[in-house]
Amino acid sequence: MYKLTQNNTTRALPETVSSFGFNRLAKRRLGESIGFDNGGDIALVFDADGHTLAEYTYVERVFSTEAYLNG
């Protein structure tokens, strides 16, 4: 699951998105594209000129008693 860390646009982007859903965020008709950095931990949406429109960071979900008790 990726969590939105930076939004440089005026459009509303989802706060969290799956890796499959991330592939649908770019508006291809406007020339936008996607990319990954840091081994896939950071997902980026670029405009047609290569400027970063949005940045998402991978958040690993941990379901354990210790994680639950630590908040």
pLDDT score recorded for residue 71: 58
Tens-binned pLDDT, residue by residue, of the chain (71 aa) = 899 999 999 999 999 999 889 999 999 999 999 999 998 899 999 999 999 999 999 987 766 666 666 65
pLDDT score recorded for residue 19: 85
SS3 assignment, position 35: strand
Question: Tokens representing 2?
Answer: 């990726």
Those residues with Cβ within 8 angstroms of residue 68's Cβ, 6 or more apart along the chain or in another chain: none
pTM of the model: 0.80
Q: Where are the alpha helices (DSSP H) in 1-71?
A: 19-22, 65-69
C-alpha span between 8 and 1 (Å, rounded)? 20
Those residues with Cβ within 8 angstroms of residue 42's Cβ, 6 or more apart along the chain or in another chain: 36, 55, 56, 57, 58
pLDDT score recorded for residue 27: 94
